Amino acid sequence: MAEHITREEMKDALQASAITLVEALPEKYYNDGHLPGAVQMNHDEVVAKADILLPDKAALIVTYCASETCPNSGYVADQLIARGYTNVKKYVGGKRDWEEAGEKFEQKSTPTNVT
């Protein structure tokens, strides 16, 4: 089970370029707006995308989804841990907490289709 990370801890890691964010929602929601620098990987895409989008299994990876009640970030985090990723955390508040704190979203800027 992945540890939780707070918004402030996550922002500090983002400023230090020491984090990879994974939006655990379908691509449509990612395209509508995502946390800065995030990649998209829904819970049913981990097998197909993880090794390509997340090559460093020791890197800090934080999963998030829509809100505290959304289970997708936990599903993705658990699957990553099962695949050998060793520093996976979950941002429980997700996009709702980010937005309520007045933080900005990015629009689609990272390729999400893996062939």
Q: 92-115 as b/e, with b when 16 or more CB fall inside 10 Å?
A: bbbbebbeeeeeeeeeeeeebeee
Q: Could you tell me the CATH superfamily of domain 3-100?
A: Rhodanese-like domain (3.40.250.10)
Cβ–Cβ < 8 Å for 39, 53: yes
* pTM score: 0.90
Q: What is the pLDDT of residues 59-88, one digit of tens each?
A: 999 999 999 999 999 999 999 999 999 999
In this predicted model, which residue has the larger pLDDT, 27 or 111?
Answer: 27
Domain extent listing, the chain: 3-100
